[in-house]
A = this chain, B = another copy of it.
Amino acid sequence: MDVVNIFLTSELGESLDDFVHDQRRFTFDRLGPDGPRRLVEGPMWAFVDWVMPELAGLEMCRRLRADARTVDAHVTMVLEEDDPEDRRRALRAGADDYVIGPLTRTAVLDRVLALQSRGVERQATRRFELGALTIDMAALQARWNEQPILLRPNEFRLLRFLAENPNRVLTREDLINGLGKREPPIDERTVDVWIGRLRRAIKAAGGGNPLRTVRSLGYVFDLG
């Protein structure tokens, strides 16, 4: 059975106990300033309150992104009201997403289920190789046969996501979701430009072209 690990920075009015639903086991846990209390395997979802007792939500967000145990978590920021300025700050601090509070059980499940529905998930792998390509999550660096590939942040995330799902056609929508770009909505054609830039960067490092276009569908990272 799949396990979905959900972490929250605050107690909620309604009880959010562990439960099983639709073939998945949902576990809930408190998330403190020092990170998660327990280590888990599998996808992690963190909901961070804008205002926290001991720490500003934005700072918490940054910590999650810097902490090796939680870099792969999908971070949702919980805003008190819909302030465009706050939304932007949240995303810049590393959040993948946000909801307008207060946080309810329904809101949590909506988020998790919606993003899981495509079944494209991050794997918590620190460093991995695919053919000549090496991706080092800790150093945020990619190499082609030891030769560093000069990537901008967005390109790195794109390459990472593609490489995490090799030999599998990813639609432009998958890629947009995979990079956690919900807000503002991204034009699908923009993905073409991302791919173009990524290809150029790989080629500049002496690499081949592992990114295959599947016309009218999307792109694949080709192994072999």
Binding site for B on A (CB under 8 A): 1-3, 24, 41-43, 84, 88, 91-92, 113-114, 116-119, 121, 123, 129, 131, 136, 138-141, 146, 152-153, 167-169, 214-217, 220, 222-224
A128 vs chain B, min Cβ distance (A): 10
User: Residues of B contacting A118 with CB < 8 Å?
Assistant: 2, 41-43, 121, 123
A138 touches B2 (CB 8 A): no
- Where chain A touches its partner, the secondary structure class is loop
For the complex formed, measure the closest distance between the CB of A6 and the CB atoms of chain B, giving whole angstroms.
13
Do the beta carbons of A169 and B121 come within 8 Å of each other?
Answer: no
Instruction: Let me know if B223 and A92 touch, CB within 8 A.
Output: yes
How long is the Cα–Cα vector from A220 to B41 in the complex, in angstroms?
Answer: 32
- The answer to whether B114 touches A140, judged by C-beta atoms less than 8 angstroms apart, is no
Q: Which residues from chain B contact A136 at a C-beta distance below 8 Å?
A: 167
Contact call B152/A167, Cβ cutoff below 8 A: no
Q: How far is the CB of A163 from chain B (nearest CB, A)?
A: 13
B168 A139 Cβ-Cβ under 8 A: yes
Q: Tell me which residues across on chain B come within 8 A of A84, comparing CB atoms.
A: 129, 131
Please, which residues of chain B bring their CB within 8 A of the CB of A214? 140, 153
* A214 nearest CB across to chain B (Å): 6
Chain B residues with CB under 8 Å of A215's CB are 152-153
CB-CB under 8 A from A88, the residues of chain B are 131, 223-224
Min CB–CB distance A149 → chain B (angstroms): 13
Closest B residue to A132 by beta carbon equals B84
Which B residues lie within 8 Å of A153 (CB)? 214-217
Contacts of A129 in B (CB 8 A): 84
Contact across chains for A92 and B217 when beta carbons are under 8 A apart: no
A146 vs B2: C-alpha distance when bound (angstroms): 33
By Cβ-Cβ distance, the 7 closest A-B pairs, closest first, are A42-B117, A3-B117, A2-B119, A139-B167, A138-B168, A42-B118, A92-B224
